Amino acid sequence: MANLTDTQLLAAIAKANNELQDATEFRDYKHSATKLLLDGEPLVFRNLNQLKKSDEQPTKVDLNKRVYRASASAKSASHAAAAFPDSFTKDITYNRLVQTFKVSYKQADNNRLTYENILRYEMKNALMSLYLDWSAANIAWLNTNRSQVATDSILAFDDTTNFQFDSALADRDFLFEYIKSAMRANKYNGMIDIVGDQRTAALYRKLAANGRTNADNTEYQLPNTTLVEEPQMALTADSVSFAWERGTVGMTTWNELLNRRGEGSVGSNQGLFTTMADPVFSGVNLDLHIKRDIADTSGSAGNVQDVVDEYEIALTYAQEGAWLSTANETSIFKFVQANS
């Protein structure tokens, strides 16, 4: 097989992306938590990504601090404010996940699968492995970044050990009404986004099915909530979920300028720097680097003189919640429903 030119190779990559989901061997989760976090990107991040030019450059956001001042009871000719306004800054932390794979030209020549076939399946393996790691990181981030500060409502907040709202077994059929009450008690009054484990999702569907024609109508509590089921959340005896007001939590992705510009060629010393549109997550672009080299692949069904293309896919992302000046306070709350 002749070496593919840059344009042929990029066309093959585009084709591989479009055929990502096409076999039971490559079935995958829906990655619901990741998609919900990405949905919050426009409201949380706005134009912050344009400020970041390199890995080394920190990205910060400047915010005004909310300060309570007691109201006076009378006017005064010599009134004087007690203090000037206050502000604070927060860092935006970016993370990176990288997948690599390689394709041999002479292995392809010796195989019933062509170079394009091998590329397609290696691309699937790399992307699906990346998605698993990304979703696991996002679920862990929600748990790590749940608020440790909250006001009690119908549900009491455990602010000493587990940092969560606990709902008793007797209140199981009112979980989502109580979630909304807890959010309102903490001054979150808008649409509530919820990421739930499979037990929480099953309860949500059960309560939704108890409509107005049932003797016990429980669907009234579900409006103004959106729940996504996340099967990658670990199951316990209790039902676990994370909730926040829509628009206060989100996730963004970022690409290095060199990749955005496009640089080099596959066969050159530096290789080819470019980006590729992710085939599953709309609006996400991945950094892609490809380099070509000579290798001895005779031990792997190749040849002592083989041409090998090395691929690197990199995802750079940041999750953030609405920034608050109080230590350990976020807009993400954990809810645990007892089932026994």
Per-residue confidence band for 121, with pLDDT thresholds at 50, 70 and 90:
confident
How much of the chain, in percent, has pLDDT values that exceed 90? 51
Q: CB within 8 A of 112, min separation 6: which ones? A: none
Per-residue confidence band for 62, with pLDDT thresholds at 50, 70 and 90:
low
Predicted confidence (pLDDT) at residue 232 exceeds the cutoff of 90: yes
Predicted confidence (pLDDT) at residue 249 exceeds the cutoff of 80: yes
Contact 253, 284 (CB under 8 A): yes
The pLDDT assigned to 214 comes to 65
CA–chain centroid gap for 231, Å, is 15
Residue pLDDT, tens place only, 146-200:
999 999 999 999 999 999 999 999 999 999 999 999 999 999 999 999 999 999 9
DSSP symbols for 199-255: HHHHHHHHHHHS-TTSSS--GGG-TTEEEEE-TTSPP-SSEEEEEEETTSEEEEEE-
Predicted confidence (pLDDT) at residue 139 exceeds the cutoff of 80: yes
- Maximum alpha-carbon separation in the chain: 93
Residue pLDDT, tens place only, 87-107:
656 678 889 999 999 998 888
Predicted confidence (pLDDT) at residue 1 exceeds the cutoff of 50: no
CA–chain centroid gap for 329, Å, is 20
Predicted confidence (pLDDT) at residue 217 exceeds the cutoff of 60: yes
Backbone angles phi, psi at 283, to 5 degrees: 85, -5
Q: CB within 8 A of 195, min separation 6: which ones? A: 32, 33, 36, 139, 142, 227, 228, 230, 233, 241, 242, 243
Question: Measuring CA to CA, which residue among 302, 282, 283, 285 is closest to residue 293?
Answer: 302
The pLDDT assigned to 164 comes to 97
Percent helix, percent strand, percent coil in the chain, to nearest 5: 30, 25, 40
Predicted confidence (pLDDT) at residue 129 exceeds the cutoff of 90: yes
The pLDDT assigned to 166 comes to 97
Residue pLDDT, tens place only, 280-323:
898 899 999 999 998 888 888 778 888 889 999 999 999 987 77
pTM over 0.75: yes
Contact 243, 183 (CB under 8 A): yes
The pLDDT assigned to 117 comes to 85
